Structure 1
Amino acid sequence: MRIFLCIAAMKNWKVKTTDIKSAFLQGKEIKRDIYLIPLIESESNGKLWKLKHGLYGLKDGARQFYLSVKEELEKLQFTQCELDPAMFFVTVKGNLCGLLCCHVDDFLHAGNDYFEMLMCKLRSRFSAGKIEETNFRYIGFQIIQEDGQIILDHSDYMNNLQTVHIDPERALEKTENLTPGEQTSFRKLIGQLNWAVQGSRPDMAFELISLSTKLQCATVSDLIRAIKQINRLKDVDSVLNFPKLQCDKSELKLVLYTDASLGNLNNGLGSTAAHILWLVDSNHNSCPISWHSAKIKRVVRSTLAAEMLSLQEGLESCVYYRSILTNLLGIDPSDIDIIAYVDNKSVIEGIASTKLVDDKRLRIDIAAIQESVQKHEVKHIKWIKGDDQLANCMTKRGANGFTLLKVLHQGLLYFP
């Protein structure tokens, strides 16, 4: 969805949402026999009903609807995105005319007049419910379009988060394991935090990872910390800003920040890696494209290894999203430069040096990054001070996340 909003803002298109009524009943016909016992009110005189289309509750109900939508869109000359099967777009003579994102029976779409004409034809095939624009709710987010920018507001979700009460006497038993009821509450809090982090609060990513490692052995202390993090989500507006970017392809860059922390999970055995990615123009207008923070999949023996693996994963994310952007915009991958920032000088030296590191597994990862630089898939990998590392708060507890939130709120990224 973030790439969709980024392009819609860039093209100055009006973003709209369309809800399909009784969507599954408008899907493709089912090719197997499914019989239903009719409702008493139907007065069917003991007869069974044979189901022709999908219903909510069937395992393939959503898929049958998706296939029918895909079929109709292809008839209207929509093209499916090569790397995102839920996104479709229309081009005329190589120019992008509009985008459509599917989330089950909710469509998010934007485009020019020709695209709107195609959307009218699509609605004639699928009976549509409400059609909204300018200010509307979509899958839990409030989308607001004003003054040449698009705001993705997640604040209502945060304000409605439900926490749990813990008795003061129980709170003193910090090292005690949680009861089954408390364990259920703990999992619920983790689920709420996860949706917040994925949607609009990357600054809380490390707390989510740290608490998630406790799911099987959580204590009262962990439950108290989870409650505090849910309350923290309500202290700051959870907003993403998608400003209008310069449309000139030579002005666009993918700017990546990556960071890692060694041995700060699972009593020193696990390490954390994180990256965050923006699409930025020459005026520093920036749209957040992606972020990710997670426990590094293998045990690493050095800070260099942790930082290098984090950088490698971030660069892979850059290449992936650049492929989607170039597929949609009809431009060459070389038109969008990738610039990465790390706060570990050893990483820069390791990439530039011909000297091999002792860790033989790490040699493979370094070689992959070096190859990307040599082939000009990545334009620059630069060092920055730790205070300027925007991904810092995503890998360690206590790091200041307000600078990151400021960039997300304002839609301006002044990178070195």
Structure 2
Amino acid sequence: MSSTPFAPPSADLPLPAPDPLAIQSSHPPTAPPSPAPPVPPTRQSERHKVPNVHLQDYVCSQVTLPNDAQSESSSSHRTSGTRYPLSNFISYHRYTPAHLAFITHISHSVEPRSFSEANSDPTWQQAMRSELQALESNHTWTLTPLPPGKHPIGCRWVYKIKHHSDGSIERYKARLVAKGYTQTEGVDFHDTFSPTAKMVTVRSLLALAAASSWPLHQLDVHNAFLHGDLHEEIYMTPPPGLQRQGENLVCRLHKSLYGLKQASRQWFAKFSEAIQAVGFTQSKADYSLFTCKRGKSFIALLIYVDDILITGNNLGAINSLKRFLHTRFRIKDLGDLKFFLGIEVSRSKKGISISQRKYTIDILKDSGFLGVRPVLFPMEQNLKLSDTGELLKDPAKYRRLVGRLIYLTITRPDITYAVHVLSRFMHEPRKPHMEAALRILKYLKNTPGQGLFFPAQNDLKLRAYCDSDWGGCPTTRRSITGYCVFLGNSLISWRSKRQKTVSLSSAEAEYRAMTGACCELIWLRSLLRDLQLPHRKAAILHCDNQAVLHIAANPVFHERTRHIEMDCHFIRDKIQDGSVTTKHVASSQQIADIFTKALGKDDFARMSRKLEVLDIHSPT
């Protein structure tokens, strides 16, 4: 067998050379035959490589970068290695130089994720030493042998870079956190509930501050949980880096260290007691909100664990409050609000813009989707996900991704419905579910800096839209409720949720959606009343179903509405007492439609614009 590589017949290949003996005997001499074509290389390293066309949407190793002979116009893409660089979809030209410096600092901050990584950096070594000194000076623990029958809980280090309002680094924070998930209920802890600020309250406060031209200040409480006293007997393994005499010693805790089940409760009790002692009133609508009204002066304080927001119409009173807090706790004054719980806050004369730009880019980076080809809407219009398909080998990856997307909906109402659908399959995620989640990442690549805008020109009147998708869940045939609430032109609340029971008609599904929206309006009226913004006029609730509006306005019951009688009574009572009034809206103008189903490209873009979302990072 010949060792020459096989080549298929071709018209371009020469014919086989005749036998030389036959030429001598019967033919005159002829010119020598043309040389044979080059033999294709047999070694894999020598072959010409063509990238797979299916990989063109992703960042892969087979990327051909421009050479030096190419034009300078293409040289700007030399470092990206992708057809869709992120710089094509995000820009910072609308920022002032000072705010751009802040964004640049927080974008390039790298925080270690383990003790071994941090311990190799002298800066973080000093941060850990400072934290241990603060814990010891606060008498957080005493070193003692572990008593018989007791089991110590573990601990770990968490690292965070704190910034000044101008973006410069304020300090490197190393926080020791107890592994509270190993505590035993009834032994190591009893009561654990502690209120945290609702994101609807945060957005409402920002919308009110933008419309009223109030200043927004941010404070950080240093070692907040250590202010709480610990009443249970808890032992903890010594933290990495702690120097101690004796290998068998453990830490007997005296203070509510971060991570303990009861730590947040103990700290909040201490803080609320101190703030109410100087005349602040705790809101009944949101226990994390405290307000103080003295004459024409008004101050609102919102606390989320150890992060504090302060706003109001009297700057002198705000500064006085800061001085008081400094006397009771170790407070860091971070100045004007710019970065809160991963939310970037930008302010101008036109209003306040919030986004999770850095958080979005981090998700894309961790998923390897920085160079992915973007799409224009987050979910295919006719996609119906169910409990079918191949199970994922690593379901934890899906759960982590969906969990991060849920937090992203704080400022991204446009992905709320898609994330709501994906969250139904956390227990057994399958391949189609992961593909749908990755499509959301492709959509986020198109608008990584998109968020909400709270305008300065605002009438601050409540209005809401409610809608439903009858039998929208293909697995249970339950309907999907969707609603959104505006404070003037500012979107402050929205929801997409599968109803708890099956509805027998589209009118019934719509009525249940109206009930949910009405409950949100009643709660918001109470919250805004605490913020000195009472609504004496009825809030407008828009619905596109005439049958539902007729049921809400007329005391009529028949066999189709008997089983939802309680909802009927609730809506009618709120209409009669002037809290809510209903109004018909055309289906084409029903904004809540985006929270009940996956829309096509044109409808999705149109409804997104009506949500008053804004992308200040858009290149155009």
Q: Which of the five TM-score ranges fits, normalised by the shorter chain?
A: 0.7 to 0.9
Match for residue 261 of structure 1 among 443, 463, 469: 469
Q: Does 1:194 align with 2:374?
A: no
Q: Which residue of 2 aligns with 1:56?
A: 258
Q: Distance in 1 between matches of 2:264 and 2:355?
A: 27
Does the Cα contact within 8 Å between 1:15 and 1:145 map onto a contact in 2? no
Q: Distance in 2 between matches of 1:154 and 1:262?
A: 33
**How far did residue 263 of structure 1 move?**
1.1
Q: Which residue of 1 aligns with 2:197?
A: none
Larger Rg: 2
Does the Cα contact within 8 Å between 1:322 and 1:336 map onto a contact in 2? no
Which has the larger share of helix? 1
Q: Distance in 2 between matches of 1:302 and 1:398?
A: 22
Q: Which residue of 1 aligns with 2:612?
A: 408
Deviates more, 1:255-264 or 1:3-12: 3-12
Q: Which residue of 1 aligns with 2:499?
A: 296
Does the Cα contact within 8 Å between 2:468 and 2:479 map onto a contact in 1? yes
Aligned 1:192-271 pairs, distance under 5 A? 192-197=404-409, 199-236=410-447, 237-244=449-456, 252-267=460-475, 269-271=477-479
Q: Distance in 1 between matches of 2:262 and 2:532?
A: 33
Offset from partner CA, 1:8-52 (integer Å, 9 cap, x none) = 223312212111112222x13323444567675255898876543
Aligned 1:59-208 pairs, distance under 5 A? 59-93=261-295, 95=296, 97-111=298-312, 112=314, 113-129=316-332, 131-133=334-336, 136-162=338-364, 164=367, 176-181=389-394, 183-197=395-409, 199-208=410-419
In structure 2, what residue type is equivalent to 1:107? Answer: I
**How far did residue 154 of structure 1 move?**
1.8
Query: Unaligned stretches of 5+ in structure 2?
Result: 1-201, 370-386, 616-620
Q: Distance in 2 between matches of 1:22 and 1:189?
A: 30
Q: Alignment RMSD, CA only? A: 2.7
Aligned 1:316-331 pairs, distance under 5 A? 316-329=519-532, 331=534
Q: Distance in 2 between matches of 1:403 and 1:43?
A: 68
Does the Cα contact within 8 Å between 2:218 and 2:307 map onto a contact in 1? yes
Residue 55 of structure 1 aligns to a residue in which SS?
Answer: coil
In structure 2, what residue type is equivalent to 1:297? Answer: K
Q: Distance in 1 between matches of 2:208 and 2:469?
A: 34
Q: Distance in 1 between matches of 2:268 and 2:351?
A: 30
Q: 1:192 to 1:78 in 2, by over 3 A?
A: same
Q: Distance in 1 between matches of 2:500 and 2:604?
A: 25
**How far did residue 276 of structure 1 move?**
0.3
Q: 1:115 to 1:46 in 2, by over 3 A?
A: same
In structure 2, what residue type is equivalent to 1:194? Answer: I
Does the Cα contact within 8 Å between 1:261 and 1:306 map onto a contact in 2? yes
Residue 579 of structure 2 aligns to a residue in which SS?
Answer: coil
- TM-score when normalising by structure 1: 0.85
In structure 1, what residue type is equivalent to 2:541? Answer: A
Question: Percent of counterpart pairs with the same letter?
Answer: 24
Q: 1:357 to 1:194 in 2, by over 3 A?
A: farther
Q: Which residue of 1 aligns with 2:485?
A: 277
Residue 152 of structure 1 aligns to a residue in which SS?
Answer: strand
Q: Distance in 2 between matches of 1:215 and 1:42?
A: 44
In structure 2, what residue type is equivalent to 1:56? Answer: Y
Does the Cα contact within 8 Å between 1:252 and 1:336 map onto a contact in 2? no
Q: Which residue of 1 aligns with 2:571?
A: 369
Q: 1:195 to 1:410 in 2, by over 3 A?
A: closer
Q: Distance in 1 between matches of 2:595 and 2:542?
A: 15
Q: Distance in 2 between matches of 1:47 and 1:119?
A: 41
Tell me how many residue pairs correspond in the alignment: 387
Query: Unaligned stretches of 5+ in structure 1?
Result: 167-173, 281-285, 412-416
Match for residue 231 of structure 2 among 31, 51, 73: 31
Q: 1:36 to 1:177 in 2, by over 3 A?
A: closer
